[in-house]
Structure 1
Amino acid sequence: MTAVSLPGRRVPPARRVSLRQVLCLLPLVIVTVVAVRHWPVLADGFGRLRTAEWPWLVAAAAATCLTWVAAACTRQGAVLERLPLLRLLATQFAAGAANHVLPGGLGAGAVNLRFMAGCGVPLARSSAALALYLLAESVSRVALLAVLLLASPGALSLGPLLPTGTVGPLLLAVGAAVLAAAAALVCVRTLRAAAGSFLRTALGEFRSVHARPARAAALWGGSLAFPALQAVVLVLVGRALGVPVPPVHMAVAYLAATAAVALIPTPGGLGSVEAALAVALVAAGAPAAVATAVVLAYRVITVWLPLLPGALTLGALMRWKVI
């Protein structure tokens, strides 16, 4: 028996799902996978928050929100073009979720490159701006750590962080990496030419940005404020859980731990940041159990709570073709 189609009625074609629509859902899938893989840590972290003093936790959440403002200031300071403020802030919020996909900040870098491309910044200059952002953030973090160590020399004992016999191999590994990179630049002509072109573009961007005081102030002010605010979050969480460690010592512990973790990049720093922070807090004088509780609560506030809304923001920005 054959089907008879009624005259005057058209059967709508099947709706095709575009690649962009699939990619918009990808951040939610990634968040689900990450949360399932780290569920014991996540549940333990939320359990620790139940015993904390809430006013300090609210202040820590507010300081966490200010870190995205600081990141937006630094991103704006790294380019000459005026970036749309609200979209820039939303992009920094979404970049935090993207950072849990690729290690070493590559997720946030990719999101910001796409955002700057949508704002009309050429790829060469946006890549130079990204390098300038990373340089300013790294220099500011190390400088802040040095200032705090000079102000409080006994804030941190490096013994637990660098056990006997590890300093030499660490320096050898860093030296070998530098020599390998230099050899690659010397031996590979194409790579050397590309590196030279990028370096010229980056230096030109550096001079152009610093020729405008407002851009230079945004770049270095934001890059200093970002690690300082993150350290403040850790201090506030420590106060909420009653950690018997001076605030300056906790700030030094945070800066030292995150500087060390930068040498071992993982997606979002998951695992490595927790371990380094716990060891650094113990080195600063906190009991091991209390240090673990502080680290778990700190990561819940700075990573896990913003992760789902950050992923939703990332999907929305992709759907609206902002990135």
Structure 2
Amino acid sequence: MPERVPEQENRARPLSAGGSLSQAMLAFGIVAAVVVLGVVHRGTVDEGGDSLATADWEWLALACAATVTMWAAGTVKQLGAMPVTPPLRKLFAVQVAANFANHLLPAGAGGMAVNMRFMRREGLSRAASVRAIGINSMAGVVTHLLLLVCAAMLAPSALTDLGARASRLGHAFTGGVGRGVALGLAIGAGAVVLPAFAVVLGRRDLRRRAAARLGRTRARLRSELRELNAVLSDPGRAAMLWLGSMVTPLLHAVALYAVLQSVDTPVPMGTVLLIYVSVSAIAAIAPSPGAVGGLDVALIAGLTGVGVSSAAAVGAVIGYRMITVWLPLVPGACVLAVLVRRRVL
């Protein structure tokens, strides 16, 4: 039976969006590097933006449909991770709000907070809610890795091209463009390292705290594995969890593929999938709100690595991010405000 909490312990609490200083500084560094890149390549950015003016709107409509379907996939995935079955329309609305919150905090922390709040309001205890979120995240990581392996098998030549592109980018850093990018990265590194150094100097017990945190992480991982085993023993929940986790990155790849087609830049679907799952995994190493900055640059580099022109790659990534990130912010913010007002969150 799912763990529930008494009604008096389940009253509304304000949504918190606290993030560590190091994460904020890292996000600032990534944005600074991207701004430098945009200034250095202003002509290419302008040309890429202009290409969207003549884009095929039917393909763009497909990308919009894929974005909406992502919310449905998130609903199915969250439903598979929860030990209870809430109203589906309410859960779908929560995923729309969680998508908006994800673009305010790095590493998906915003969406986790929204889903945590919803599950607490549905009567689940904090421990049960944390386990459900942990299962959801773990399933996403596992399916992402599986998709990466499958995509590499479907498009091995694209993987070789990406490796060659990475080598050329390394040589580019010795030129003038590289100096501009290095300046942005240096700003980001300084913004991260200096506060971290101050924290180290101010906390003599940092090693003890780190050991305690590692112990808690191991205990949480063991708990999530036990809960994942319980999910897998229920065929219905397992199917929803894995299906939703697998479909989400596929839909992102479909959206990117559709935008590429809209600007008359045909790239095989297997290649697009490989590029997306590869660069999104890399961008997750240095998380920023909505993966802004790191994912954009990595996608452009990946597309140019398989033969797409720089202008077309920039235009496709701008269109992809506009459809999957910037346009959904408006309905996401409205849905979040309604859910909070109605005390669903």
Counterpart of 1:319? 341
Counterpart of 1:302? 324
- Following TM superposition, by how much is the alpha carbon of 1:194 offset from its aligned partner in structure 2, in angstroms? 3.8
1:145 equivalent among 127, 144, 148: 148
CA distance 1:164–1:313, shift in 2 (3 Å): same
Counterpart of 1:9? none
Cα distance in 2 for partners of 1:101, 1:84 equals 26
Quick one: which amino acid aligns to residue 250 of structure 1? Answer: V
Structure 1 stretch displaced more, 231-240 or 123-132: 123-132
Quick one: which amino acid aligns to residue 231 of structure 1? Answer: A
Deviations 1:261-319 (A, max 9, x none): 01010011111111111011111221111000000000111011111110111111111
1:78 equivalenced with 2:81 (yes/no): yes
Counterpart of 2:164? 159
Quick one: which amino acid aligns to residue 79 of structure 2? Answer: Q
Deviations 1:3-48 (A, max 9, x none): xxxxxxxxxxxxxxxxx9x98xxxxxxxxxxxxx99x999998754
Contact 1:95–1:111 (CA under 8 A) maintained in structure 2:
yes
Structure with the larger helix share: 2
Cα distance in 2 for partners of 1:271, 1:188 equals 29
DSSP-derived class of the 1:105 partner: helix
Cα distance in 2 for partners of 1:275, 1:188 equals 33
DSSP-derived class of the 1:50 partner: helix
CA distance 1:45–1:299, shift in 2 (3 Å): farther
Identity of aligned residues (%): 37
Equivalent positions of 1:1-323 (< 5 A) are: 48-156=51-159, 157=161, 158-161=163-166, 190-191=212-213, 194-195=216-217, 197-323=219-345
- Following TM superposition, by how much is the alpha carbon of 1:122 offset from its aligned partner in structure 2, in angstroms? 1.3
Contact 2:257–2:267 (CA under 8 A) maintained in structure 1:
no
CA distance 1:185–1:145, shift in 2 (3 Å): farther
- Following TM superposition, by how much is the alpha carbon of 1:128 offset from its aligned partner in structure 2, in angstroms? 1.4
Give the number of aligned pairs: 273
- Following TM superposition, by how much is the alpha carbon of 1:113 offset from its aligned partner in structure 2, in angstroms? 0.6
Where does the alignment leave 5 or more consecutive residues of structure 1 unmatched?
Answer: 1-19, 24-36, 166-183
Contact 2:66–2:251 (CA under 8 A) maintained in structure 1:
yes
- Following TM superposition, by how much is the alpha carbon of 1:49 offset from its aligned partner in structure 2, in angstroms? 3.4
Contact 2:51–2:312 (CA under 8 A) maintained in structure 1:
no
Cα distance in 1 for partners of 2:154, 2:103 equals 35
Contact 2:154–2:270 (CA under 8 A) maintained in structure 1:
no
CA distance 1:218–1:48, shift in 2 (3 Å): same
Quick one: which amino acid aligns to residue 258 of structure 1? Answer: S
CA distance 1:321–1:46, shift in 2 (3 Å): farther
Cα distance in 2 for partners of 1:247, 1:196 equals 38
DSSP-derived class of the 2:231 partner: helix
Contact 2:275–2:302 (CA under 8 A) maintained in structure 1:
yes
- Following TM superposition, by how much is the alpha carbon of 1:76 offset from its aligned partner in structure 2, in angstroms? 0.8
DSSP-derived class of the 1:80 partner: coil
- Following TM superposition, by how much is the alpha carbon of 1:64 offset from its aligned partner in structure 2, in angstroms? 0.9
Cα distance in 2 for partners of 1:83, 1:280 equals 40
Structure 1 stretch displaced more, 223-232 or 134-143: 134-143
Contact 1:48–1:296 (CA under 8 A) maintained in structure 2:
no
DSSP-derived class of the 2:290 partner: coil
DSSP-derived class of the 1:154 partner: helix
The two structures have a TM-score, normalised by structure 1, of 0.76
Cα distance in 1 for partners of 2:249, 2:230 equals 25
Kindly name which structure, 1 or 2, has the bigger radius of gyration based on alpha carbons: 1
- Following TM superposition, by how much is the alpha carbon of 1:95 offset from its aligned partner in structure 2, in angstroms? 1.0
CA distance 1:63–1:113, shift in 2 (3 Å): same
CA distance 1:208–1:288, shift in 2 (3 Å): same
Quick one: which amino acid aligns to residue 270 of structure 2? Answer: V
Cα distance in 1 for partners of 2:292, 2:170 equals 26
The alignment's C-alpha RMSD in Å is: 3.1
CA distance 1:277–1:186, shift in 2 (3 Å): same
- Following TM superposition, by how much is the alpha carbon of 1:185 offset from its aligned partner in structure 2, in angstroms? 9.8
- Following TM superposition, by how much is the alpha carbon of 1:161 offset from its aligned partner in structure 2, in angstroms? 3.6
Cα distance in 2 for partners of 1:43, 1:111 equals 37
- Following TM superposition, by how much is the alpha carbon of 1:188 offset from its aligned partner in structure 2, in angstroms? 6.1
Where does the alignment leave 5 or more consecutive residues of structure 2 unmatched?
Answer: 1-11, 16-31, 172-205
Cα distance in 2 for partners of 1:318, 1:46 equals 36
Cα distance in 2 for partners of 1:135, 1:185 equals 27
